[in-house]
Amino acid sequence: MLNRTEAPQQHSIQDIDLIQPEVLTFDNGLKVFIFRAAEQSLIKAEFVFNNLFASEENPLLNTCLSSMLKEGTSSRSSAQIADDVDFYGAYLVPEYSYDHSSITLYSLQKYVAQVLPVVQDILTDAIFPEAELATYIRNNKQSLQVSMRKNDYVARKRFYKALFGDTRYGITPTEEAYDNLSREDLISLYRKQVQPQNCTLILSGGVTDEILALIQDLFVQNWPNTADASTQTAPTLPAFEGKLHIEEREDALQSAIRIGIPSINRTHPDFPALQFVNTLFGGYFGSRLMRNIREEKGYTYSIGSALASLRHGGFFTLATEVGVDVTADALKEIEQEFNILNDSLAPEEEVALVKNYMLGTMLGSLESIFSHADKYKSVYFYGLNLDYYKRYTSTIREMTPAKVQEIAKQYFQYDKMYKAVVGKL
């Protein structure tokens, strides 16, 4: 009989075991990583492509390509593609990030044979109809006009431009750039980028040998490379200058604040420790920034910081919106928090709390086979393997107040950061 008057025993989180995938590489260059779960009736098939760029980087073309993949093929209209997928209760979603584009299918195991041919049709015969492209351009120009009136969007735009200049990481859309999109350029990029030799397939769920045979038939035998192999080149990033940029808006009720600096990515040995310091500083609801700026001062509803890993770099960013009457005070408090982080040791209790939070979050994120696949994907595209997570958990467990201060002094220097304020100061 359970004695509910006694609290359960606590146990420290030890090493976390992650599932290794089966790996297949086919003659056409397609790489497949398989995460099987026999008890699952759901299949997730994620086709991931390296983004390719022209000599003048234009990430807008890549985002347009990703968004319009489902807009029609020679044999199916966009409506037919939607109907063919919806009829079987499946879900097909394209996604775009700075370095990769993907299209992911979620389907019940028993209907995979009916919906995978739709994906194969999209990956081999998308036509990007002019009418759908015109609609895409019109809708996104209207959204951009709305966004440009929002202080947080403008601050973010200034921030990325300052960190990454005119590269895939720094360019944001303009109305002129949307007007310059052409179907010919889309098709040219599609024919170079959407190739099996440029594709990685992450297959997870109730994967059977029959499904693998279907994958081989559709995406190996019937998906030849039709262009020479291309590689993703590294962008040439500009010299960074930390400074304060203020954009006054007379009618502003709130000021958007964006602060940050270029930083390391997941391949750097300091990255897990830097994640720890960021979490303590502004990376979760109980962070120092939230306690001070939100709970104690009441300057904002939300404030937070993040560490972003990119294939060719990374960055630290802090973002919030505050009332225009407290903008200057908020900036002073943020600077003070950076100084405290650098100048004094964090309490042992705070370090222990962040350890438990991060290790618990890591453990809680592995609720299914699909989570294991996502964890693998997060390291694979950086040339890493699952040993990364052993190093990660070991680093988190070994963090001390002195290590927190050491990392903060190296990566969290407020005076070296770029600060964008859009509103009033």
Which residue in the block uniquely carries the two structure tokens 């939070």?
Answer: 357
* Domains of the chain, start order: 22-221 (3.30.830.10), 244-423 (3.30.830.10)
Q: In what order do the strands lie in the sheet with 254-263?
A: 244-248, 418-423, 254-263, 313-323, 303-310
- Write a three-state SS string for 135-183: HHHHHHHHHHHHHCCCHHHHHHHHHHHHHHCCCCCCCCCCHHHHHCCCH
User: What is the torsional sign of CA 411, 414, 415, 421?
Assistant: positive
d(CA 421, CA 425): 8
CA neighbor of 278 nearest in space, from 253, 259, 298: 259
Q: What is the DSSP letter of 77?
A: B
CB 336 within 8 A of CB 314: no
Q: What is the DSSP letter of 126?
A: B
E runs forming strands in 239-360: 244-248, 254-263, 303-310, 313-323
**What pTM was computed for the model?**
0.93
CB 46 within 8 A of CB 199: no
Looking from the CA of 1 toward its CB, the CA atoms found within 13 Å total 2
Kindly give the interhelix angle for 387-397 and 348-364, rounded to the nearest 10 degrees.
150
Burial class (CB in 10 A: 0-12, 13-18, 19+), 270: middle
First CA to last CA distance, the chain: 63
d(CA 321, CA 299): 8
Q: What is the DSSP letter of 71?
A: S
Torsion angles phi and psi, residue 135, rounded to 5 = -65, -45
d(CA 202, CA 43): 11
Q: What tens-digit pLDDT sequence spans the chain (425 residues)?
A: 778 888 777 666 667 889 999 999 999 999 999 999 999 999 999 999 999 987 677 889 999 999 999 999 999 999 999 999 999 999 999 999 999 999 999 999 999 999 999 999 999 999 999 999 999 999 999 999 999 999 999 999 999 999 999 999 999 999 999 999 999 999 999 999 999 999 999 999 999 999 999 999 999 999 999 998 888 788 888 999 999 999 999 899 999 999 999 999 999 999 999 999 999 999 999 999 999 999 999 999 999 999 999 999 999 999 999 999 999 999 999 999 999 999 999 999 999 999 999 999 999 889 899 999 999 999 999 999 999 999 999 999 999 999 999 999 999 999 999 999 999 98
Residue type, 70: K
Which residue in the block uniquely carries the two structure tokens 């599932």?
Answer: 19
d(CA 407, CA 403): 6
